[in-house]
């Protein structure tokens, strides 16, 4: 039993180290020939793969493939071939004759949602390897939790007074509803407009929200829009002053109806430090 557990543990430990050793991304802010370099991307050809994808942060990177086994390289950016750095010794596409193992093969510039696909030929392999390196989009769906205030809610109710219908108003014009919101904003800006939608629940009825949003800092989101939720409203089958039977109850005089009302709200993300700028 112990032997099997050791084998499983060794397998779990070995697999992640193999997976992450295929492409190494180092972030370091340096300057070369007056141009800023944010990091390096190193591809290890000693680990055999058919295809692999890895995300990187935005920035300018130098690409290295330090291996004598490198036979060919095609880089494509948005389906357009991206030329490696030209070397004097390169002839007829023979990349081995042009680059030493310590040379940077290409400079890759990653903006928002940028993708490079590297087709790498390795000596002794018929199949070309495929490496996908991609930066994420600045615009993302963000989940946050907060409260929305729904305005202009009609609080009038029908009641029975001396076997006649009477209207009762409590004067309350706002409902405060806990909510979970999904907001599409630019996460790289300290102030970003966006779109939002979500759900709220006040322990009785479910509400649906949709509208605009403003992201502030790392985790504060202000929102405004429309809310669709159920309200207990007077039943239109009755009118004020109408004589009714004693068997008619408040449940008969009122009924739940869906209504559309304006709302404003605030919500918070809890996966980011609120005191750190984007």
> pLDDT for 74-97, tens place per residue?
999 877 887 766 554 444 455 665
Flag whether 15 is in a domain. no
Integer Cα distance of 54 and 41 in angstroms: 11
Q: What is the mean pLDDT of the chain?
A: 80
pLDDT at position 67 over 50: yes
Residues 45 and 150 occupy one common structural domain: no
Residues 105 and 173 occupy one common structural domain: no
Residue 147 confidence class, pLDDT cut points 50, 70, 90: very high
Residues 235 and 188 occupy one common structural domain: yes
Residues 156 and 258 occupy one common structural domain: yes
Residues 130 and 69 occupy one common structural domain: yes
Flag whether 219 is in a domain. yes
Flag whether 16 is in a domain. no
Give the residue, 225 or 165, on which the prediction is more confident.
225
Residues 98 and 215 occupy one common structural domain: no
Give the residue, 186 or 29, on which the prediction is more confident.
186
pLDDT at 20: 44
Flag whether 275 is in a domain. no
Domain that holds residue 109: 23-135
pLDDT at 14: 37
Domain final position from 105, 135, 165? 135
What is the sign of the dihedral through the CA atoms of 268, 271, 276 and 278?
Answer: negative
Domain final position from 135, 170, 185? 135
Flag whether 274 is in a domain. no
Flag whether 56 is in a domain. yes
Flag whether 1 is in a domain. no
Residues 180 and 146 occupy one common structural domain: yes
Residues 146 and 130 occupy one common structural domain: no
Flag whether 13 is in a domain. no
pLDDT at 172: 73
Integer Cα distance of 40 and 129 in angstroms: 20
Residue 165, both tokens: 């219908």
Counted domains in the chain: 2
Asked if residue 21 lies in contact with residue 44, where contact means CB atoms within 8 angstroms, the answer is yes
Residues 146 and 105 occupy one common structural domain: no
Residues 129 and 143 occupy one common structural domain: no
Domain final position from 94, 113, 135? 135
Residues 89 and 147 occupy one common structural domain: no
pLDDT at position 179 over 60: yes
CA-nearest of 136, 149, 154 to 179 is 149
SS (H, E, C) the chain: CHHHHHHHHHHHHHHHHHHHCCEEEEEEEEEECCEEEEEEEEECCCCCCCEEEEEECCEEEEEECCCCCEEEEEEEECCEEECCCCCCCCECCEHHHCCCCCCCCEEEEECCCCEEEEEEEECCCCCCEEEEEEECCCEEEEEEEEEEEEECCCCCEEEEECCEEEEECCCCCEEEEEEEEEEEEECCCCEEEEEEEEEEECCCCEEEEEEEEEEECCCEEEEEEEEEEEEEEECCCCCCCCECCCCCCHHHHEEEEEEEEEEEEEEECCCCCCCCCC
Residues 120 and 164 occupy one common structural domain: no
pLDDT at position 260 over 60: yes
Q: Strands 35-43 and 80-82, how do they pair? A: unpaired
CA distances from 152 to 27, 148, 231, 245 (A): 53, 13, 11, 32
């Amino acid at each position: 039993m112990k032997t099997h557990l050791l084998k499983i543990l060794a397998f779990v430990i070995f697999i992640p180290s193999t997976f992450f050793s295929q492409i190494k991304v180092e972030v370091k802010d340096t300057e070369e020939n007056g141009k800023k370099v944010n990091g390096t991307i190193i591809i290890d050809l000693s680990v055999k793969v058919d295809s692999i994808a890895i995300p990187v942060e935005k920035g300018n990177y130098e690409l290295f493939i330090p291996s004598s086994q490198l036979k060919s390289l095609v880089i494509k950016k948005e389906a357009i071939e991206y030329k490696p750095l030209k070397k004097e010794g390169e002839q007829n596409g023979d990349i081995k004759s042009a680059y030493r193992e310590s040379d940077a093969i290409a400079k890759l510039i990653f903006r928002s949602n940028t993708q490079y696909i590297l087709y790498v030929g390795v000596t002794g392999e018929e199949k070309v390897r495929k490496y996908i390196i991609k930066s994420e989009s600045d615009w993302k769906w963000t989940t946050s939790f907060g409260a929305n205030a729904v305005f202009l809610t009609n609080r009038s109710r029908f009641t029975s007074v001396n076997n006649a219908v009477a209207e009762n108003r409590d004067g309350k014009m706002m409902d405060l509803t806990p909510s979970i919101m999904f907001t599409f904003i630019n996460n790289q800006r300290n102030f970003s407009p966006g779109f939002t939608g979500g759900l709220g629940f006040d322990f009785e009825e479910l509400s649906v929200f949709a509208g605009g949003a403003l992201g502030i800092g790392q985790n504060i989101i202000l929102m405004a829009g429309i809310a669709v939720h159920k309200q207990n409203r007077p039943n239109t089958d009755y009118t004020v002053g109408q004589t009714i039977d004693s068997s008619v109850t408040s449940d008969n005089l009122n009924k739940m109806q869906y209504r559309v009302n304006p709302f404003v709200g605030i919500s918070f993300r809890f996966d980011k430090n609120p005191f750190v700028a984007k």
